[in-house]
Structures are given as structure tokens and as C-alpha cells.
Structure 1
Amino acid sequence: MIADQLTGTQVDEVAAGIYRISTRMDVIPGGFTFNSYLIEDEEPLLFHTGYRKLFPTTLAAIQKVMPVTKLRWAGGSHFESDEFGALNDLLAAAPEATAFGSEVGVMTSLNDFAVRTPRGLGDGEEFSIGSRRMKWIYTPHVPHGWDCGILFDLSTGTLLCGDLFTQPGADLPPVTESEVLSASEGMRGMMDYYAQAPTTKGILERLADLNPSTLACQHGSAYRGDGASLLRELSSILEGERNRTLDSAGSR
């Protein structure tokens, strides 16, 4: 459904009780989507607060699903403006909500930025939001950011995967069963935002071992299907690039 006629912001349920809030912006040729994910439960959670300048739009979208005052958790993958820009506006509108991020993110950014004390989540930490259990996976530098992490909903198998599998374009379906790796690799070819850390392969394998059935991407369509296979295919591509780079450096 359309939440804001001016921005065209849409709200769509992409997994049971998980709503993609998506706003299209002309920041690259062909447009780009910025997605937040609202999870309904006894303690509702928002993953990615969106830009501060888009807060009225994000607020209107949340209100299409539930009163914003019911929100209890607000966080994101890593500290950038599209993940955390509207955090304090959101905390003001939802006075019982707690901000969250990785322990490193809280130490380096959120302790100073957030108007209320945030919660830092450790690698592998699980917490309940009612009928659902959420699991935090610390993913430093995957795809970028020392503080980067990913949230997994164990009840639906949904991986809130941040900037992984970012797809360009403005007119994309809310959820697709067509593979999204080709589009995301096209985006990376245009603007390589991956850190290519030595630990990347191991981190992607940990995510694949979760066997996610939905990849809730921050940019582009959510993907419904064999998430583990896509994660392993991405890992293979990145490992091949890393090995070629090391071989090239060693031959000089």
C-alpha cells in the first residue's frame, strides 16, 4: 500500500508480520530504494530508521501498520544516515523504544548519538520480542563498517541483511523469487562498497548456515527463496576476487 503520495513510499508485507517500508530516491541513475523493516509482535521492532529528512514519511508508513507508540526496538546494521539518521526522532515518537546496534556500534557511535541509552548486541546474542526470537550476527566489514551486524528472525527465517545484495533501480517489486545476486553484482561493479576483509568468507558461511528463506535487503527487493545458496555464491565470487588480487600482488 502507498503510505505517502508525495514520496510514493510503500508498505508491503514480505514475510509473516514483517513489513518493508520503501522510499524511492533519485540518488543514482535509474533511482534507488531505501528500505526499513517493521516487525510486528508484542515488542515491535524497526530495522533501519531511514534518513532524518524522511522521518515524517517513515512515521506515516509505520502508522499504517500500528501506532508508533507501540514500538519497542529501533536499530540498524551499521552507523550511517540511512540506517540511523531518524533514530532520535523515532525515539521521541516512541517513548518506550530502545535503540540497538552492535556492541562496537554502541561504543563508537550510538552512545553519543542516541538520546536514550542504547543496547549493544553481542555476536550470536538472542533476544525475544514476544512470539519471535531475534538473533544478532556481528559481521564486521561485511559488506562494510567495523560496527556492521545483521539481524535474523528465527521464527520466519528472515535475514535482515542490511547492504548485502543491494540492487539498483526504483521500480522493483517488494519481494521477488528471482535471484538478486546478478543485480547486486551489477551495483557493486558500478560502486564497489565491499570491504573485502580476510574474514568475509567465514562470515558469509555463518549466515548461509542459518538457511534463511527471506533476505530482507535494505536496497531493492526482498528475496524469497534459497538464501543460503545465494550467500555461498556471493562468497565464492568474493573469494575468487580476493585470491586474484593476492596472486597479482605476489607476482610483482
Structure 2
Amino acid sequence: METTVTEIAPDIYRLSTYISEADFLFNQFLINAEEPLLFHCGLRGLFPLVSDAVARVTPVEGLRWITFGHVEADECGSMNSWLAAAPRAEVAHGAMGCIVSVNDMADRPPRPLSDGEVLDLGGKRVRRLETPHVPHGWDAGVMYEETTRTLLCGDLFTAIGNAPALTESEIVGPALAAEDVFKASCLTAETAPTMRRLAGLGPTALGLMHGPSYTGDCNQALGDLASAYEARFADSLRK
């Protein structure tokens, strides 16, 4: 098992570990700027591999921000390992998630972020966007890097199996196939509108946590997945 490093946009790196026993891919994203930021901490057991991967790009002890979409083991399981390795680092998470979970879980007080708040990293700007229950978790949110128009979209478009670092191939079908297996997405009246708001950002790349990074028509992909979830939600109301 190894963690590979791929630059998916200028100074944005995908750190990817495929676990064959689970046939599942775990990705973190490193934004290398004056104040380096890590999106997704990863599982505790993967910390040695992922931290070695970060060190290929920038010193681990220089990390400034530790972030994730929502509280879940593969997103923040190794949070305190990163805080121990990077003395200047702060956890930055949505205000609701900090109140509910992270204030208690983190070894240092986190920085709560409001919806739409921007962290200026020096050369890069990341905006926290709250997406409650999309795809799941009441503290769910995504990060949008404004200078490269890269949407770090967490568990959206989750797919089973290994994947290339970058693709322009269709990602909606694999995401729906995985949803058929996991039933992991919250289907509510707000699911599709939330995804369409993300499409309105006009991203040029999507950083998937469990799948390839996508550089095709991101607006179309988000819109198509939104429509598919909307149809599934409507079907659930008729049952």
C-alpha cells in the first residue's frame, strides 16, 4: 500500500491511497501556499503514509490549516496526529461542526468558519461552503479554491474501486452505482438545489475524496448528479 502524489491544479496536490481489501480509494488534498492547507486528515492508520506524502511537497511541520468536510473517521480520524506534527496548525471547520464535535475532539481549539468565509493562504484563497446533509452529515461542507476554481467536494461523487489521478471520463454513473451499494447520501428537498448552487461556482476541477479528480464539464456533472438525486427523492415520496 502506498500514497501517491499528483498535482491536479497549480499547487494543489491529490494524496491518494488505494486499499485493495476494501476496493476503495482515500484521497486528501494539499494546497501548497504561504500558509499550506490540508483538506481531509485521513484515517489514523494512514497517517504515516499520508504525512510522508505531504513531506514530498512541503514540510509537515509547516502546515498551517487542517480542514475537512464533515466529522467522519476518514476525514478527521488523524486530526490530532497532524496537530502534533505541525505546531502552528489550526483545525478550521464549519461553526456548527465545531460546536457539536470538534471543540471537544481537537487537541487545540479549532477556528470556526462561517458559510462563505474565505481563508487567504497567501497565493491561494479557499472558501468554506456549508452543505448540510449533502451528501451527509449536518456539519457537511466543501472547500472552493478560488484562484484555480477547484472544488474540493468531499464525499460527493464517491465511487468504488481504484481510479486515475485525473480524468475527463463520466463520473456520475460510478457515483450512482456506489450510492446503490452504500445508500450514503441524504436525499432531501435541499439536496439537488445545494448541488446546483455548487455548479453555479463554475468550477474547472472537482477533487473527489473517493474517486478521480475530474477535469471535464464540472457544471454538467454536478447538474446531472443533482437531477438523479432529485428523481430518487421524488420516487421516495411516492412509495
Q: Under a length normalisation based on structure 1, what TM-score does the superposition of the two structures give?
A: 0.92
Partner of 1:88: 80
Residues 151-203 of structure 1 show CA distances to partners (whole Å, capped at 9, x for unaligned) of: 00010010000000111112x11110112111111111111100112211221
Q: Contact 1:167–1:184 (CA<8 Å) still a contact in 2?
A: yes
Residues 68-106 of structure 1 show CA distances to partners (whole Å, capped at 9, x for unaligned) of: 111100010000110001111101110001101111111
Task: Say whether residues 1:191 and 2:182 are aligned partners.
Answer: yes
Q: Contact 2:2–2:49 (CA<8 Å) still a contact in 1?
A: no
Deviation of 1:226 (Å): 1.6
Partner of 2:11: 17
Match of 1:175 among 166, 169, 172: 166
- Number of positions where the alignment pairs a residue of Structure 1 with one of Structure 2: 239
Deviation of 1:128 (Å): 0.4
Measured at CA, do residues 27 and 195 of structure 1 come closer, stay the same or move farther in structure 2, by a change above 3 Å? Answer: farther
Deviation of 1:36 (Å): 0.3
Unmatched 5+ stretches in structure 1: 1-6
Amino acid in structure 1 at the alignment position of 2:3: T
Amino acid in structure 1 at the alignment position of 2:204: S
Partner of 2:229: 238
Match of 1:200 among 191, 197, 202: 191
Deviation of 1:240 (Å): 1.0
Task: Say whether residues 1:125 and 2:122 are aligned partners.
Answer: no
Matching of residues 104-115 of structure 1 within 5 Å: 104-115=96-107
Query: How far apart, CA to CA, are the structure 1 residues paired with 2:205 and 2:145?
Result: 10
Q: Contact 2:14–2:30 (CA<8 Å) still a contact in 1?
A: yes
Deviation of 1:125 (Å): 1.2
Query: Per the alignment, in what secondary structure is the counterpart of residue 11 of structure 1?
Result: strand
Amino acid in structure 2 at the alignment position of 1:26: S
Unmatched 5+ stretches in structure 2: none
Amino acid in structure 2 at the alignment position of 1:210: L
Task: Say whether residues 1:37 and 2:54 are aligned partners.
Answer: no
Deviation of 1:110 (Å): 0.6
Deviates more, 1:239-248 or 1:123-132: 239-248
Amino acid in structure 1 at the alignment position of 2:106: A
Q: Contact 1:123–1:137 (CA<8 Å) still a contact in 2?
A: yes
Partner of 2:148: 156
Q: Contact 1:35–1:219 (CA<8 Å) still a contact in 2?
A: yes
Query: How far apart, CA to CA, are the structure 2 residues paired with 1:147 and 1:229?
Result: 26
Amino acid in structure 1 at the alignment position of 2:24: F
Match of 2:214 among 223, 231, 236: 223
Query: How far apart, CA to CA, are the structure 2 residues paired with 1:88 and 1:247?
Result: 45
Deviation of 1:33 (Å): 0.6
Partner of 1:62: 54
The percentage of aligned residue pairs carrying the same residue is 43
Alignment root-mean-square deviation, CA: 1.0
Query: Per the alignment, in what secondary structure is the counterpart of residue 65 of structure 1?
Result: coil
Deviation of 1:54 (Å): 1.1
Structure (1 or 2) with the larger CA radius of gyration: 1
Task: Say whether residues 1:209 and 2:200 are aligned partners.
Answer: yes
Q: Contact 1:177–1:224 (CA<8 Å) still a contact in 2?
A: yes
Q: Contact 1:211–1:226 (CA<8 Å) still a contact in 2?
A: no
Partner of 1:4: none
